[in-house]
């Protein structure tokens, strides 16, 4: 991993790496409080040294030293009050230019201040400062130059305005980087929430399919046994079986209420844990037979490359379809047909019983779960009465790579 990162770094253009390095260095210096002390000290020294280079030590009068000190001290607060410091320092620098002519140092201080204004301010402030500084540069040239020309005004104005707009450009770049970082953070949070929602839906599916199916089987078998024992004149056993049926029915109601809070829209692959496939249907059919529902299972030839996701979804759809027969129908027989048609796995569950009048089959989570499983793998699932009697669930799931 480190080697690959180093190779990608070497592939960057040389100029881009230099610019990135300088940007990081300047950013680190800008955040260091001590840099303001260094810059203020450098400004004070520059304001005194610059006229000495041109005119000798004779210009260093006490007034010059005081003016230089007054012009340099406000730089300590340039980042906290950039515009205020600029307003205070500009008249002091003009006084310095009029008294002892630190031309180059004054331009450097002005460039630093307008750069800070551009960096810490906003676009409208920068435009206002640009207009103001054009006037200030013109006045400064008139005060200091023996034979000031338009070229001098343009040159100094270009330096000052260039520093101002460099600060503005850096501020805009930093704002863009922050916006990109915020957008990335929001996208990561959304992706994490999406993954959590997928896991929550997976839990809802598995709880409904595993626990719900088991509770339905317990409820049906206990109710049937209590009915037979009651016909034979039983009492204590019948009461116990009635209690089992009542408890399992209550547990089913609580399970449905809990799953209602867990469910959310499915946008990813169908949940696959625990993995059960079409080959496990024989055991499922046998357990339902012991519960009083005879199931005819017809599984056609399956492709060897049938994906586990498709096989698992087919198992769950059959399981839910047969569970609904137990819960919502008077049928004692059901038929399950599974095959491959037109590049899709076709699962069909039929019964010939009548719907119980006091149940709401369409409103439960079972049919919704079957539809979501099929849709997550690019397929469809539909359910409804057939031929005026009985009920049919039919799902069609592509066996190709879609949804894998």
Residue 7 confidence (pLDDT): 37
As a whole number, the mean pLDDT across the chain is 76
Residue 396 confidence (pLDDT): 94
Residue 2 confidence (pLDDT): 40
Give percent of the chain with pLDDT exceeding 90.
14
More confident residue, 271 or 211: 211
Tell me the per-residue pLDDT of 71-111, one tens digit each, with 9 for 90 and over.
999 999 988 899 899 999 999 988 888 888 888 898 889 99
More confident residue, 311 or 8: 311
Count of residues in the chain: 404
Tell me the per-residue pLDDT of 23-39, one tens digit each, with 9 for 90 and over.
554 554 455 557 888 99
245 and 223 Cβ atoms separated by less than 8 Å: yes
Q: How far apart, in whole angstroms, are the C-alpha atoms of residue 397 and residue 404?
A: 12
Q: Which of these, 204, 14, 188, 171, lies nearest to 82 by C-alpha position? A: 171
Tell me the per-residue pLDDT of 227-246, one tens digit each, with 9 for 90 and over.
666 666 666 566 666 667 66
What is the average pLDDT across 54-69? 85
pLDDT reading at 272 higher than 70:
no
What is the average pLDDT across 118-127? 84
What distances in angstroms separate CA 128 from CA 83, 134, 156, 193, 255, one per listed residue?
11, 10, 18, 46, 67
Band of residue 123 on the pLDDT scale cut at 50, 70, 90: confident
Q: CA angle, 354 as apex, 348 and 357 as ends, to 5°?
A: 120
Residue 27 confidence (pLDDT): 53
In DSSP terms, which residues pair with 344 in a beta bridge? 341, 398
CA atoms within 13 A on the CB side of 174: 16
Q: CA angle, 46 as apex, 42 and 48 as ends, to 5°?
A: 125
């Amino acid at each position: 991993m480190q080697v690959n990162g180093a190779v990608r770094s070497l592939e960057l253009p040389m100029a881009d790496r230099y610019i990135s390095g300088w940007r990081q260095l300047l950013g680190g210096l800008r955040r260091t409080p001590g840099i303001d002390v260094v810059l203020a000290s450098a400004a004070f020294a520059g304001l005194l040294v610059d006229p000495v280079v041109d005119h000798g030590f004779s210009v260093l009068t006490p007034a010059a030293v005081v003016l230089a000190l007054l012009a340099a001290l406000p730089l300590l607060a340039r980042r906290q009050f950039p515009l205020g410091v600029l307003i205070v320092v500009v008249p002091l620098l003009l006084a310095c230019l009029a008294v002892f002519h630190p031309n180059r140092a004054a331009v450097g201080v002005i460039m630093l201040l307008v750069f800070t204004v551009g960096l810490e301010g906003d676009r409208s402030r920068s435009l206002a400062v640009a207009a103001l500084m054009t006037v200030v540069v013109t006045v400064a040239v008139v005060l200091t130059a023996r034979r000031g020309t338009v070229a001098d005004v343009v040159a100094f104005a270009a330096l000052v305005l260039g520093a101002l707009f460099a600060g503005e450009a850096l501020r805009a770049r930093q704002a863009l980087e922050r916006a990109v970082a915020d957008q990335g953070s929001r996208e990561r949070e959304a992706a994490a929430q999406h993954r959590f929602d997928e896991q929550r839906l997976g839990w809802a599916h598995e709880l409904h399919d595993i626990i719900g199916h088991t509770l339905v089987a317990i409820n049906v078998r206990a109710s049937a046994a209590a009915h037979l024992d009651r016909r034979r004149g039983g009492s204590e056993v019948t009461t116990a079986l009635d209690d089992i049926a009542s408890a399992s029915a209550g547990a089913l109601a609580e399970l449905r209420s809990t799953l209602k809070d867990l469910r959310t829209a499915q946008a990813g692959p169908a949940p696959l844990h625990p993995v059960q496939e079409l080959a496990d249907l024989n055991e499922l059919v046998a357990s339902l037979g012991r519960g009083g529902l005879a199931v005819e299972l017809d599984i056609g030839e399956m492709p060897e490359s049938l994906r586990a996701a498709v096989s698992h979804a087919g198992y769950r759809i059959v399981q839910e379809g047969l569970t609904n027969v137990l819960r919502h129908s008077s049928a004692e027989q059901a038929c399950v047909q599974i095959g491959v048609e037109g590049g899709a796995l076709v699962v069909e569950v039929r019964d010939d019983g009548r719907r119980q009048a006091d149940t709401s089959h369409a409103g439960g989570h079972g049919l919704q779960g079957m539809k979501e499983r099929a849709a997550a793998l690019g397929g469809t699932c539909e359910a409804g009465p057939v031929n005026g009697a009985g009920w049919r669930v039919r799902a069609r799931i592509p066996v190709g790579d879609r949804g894998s």
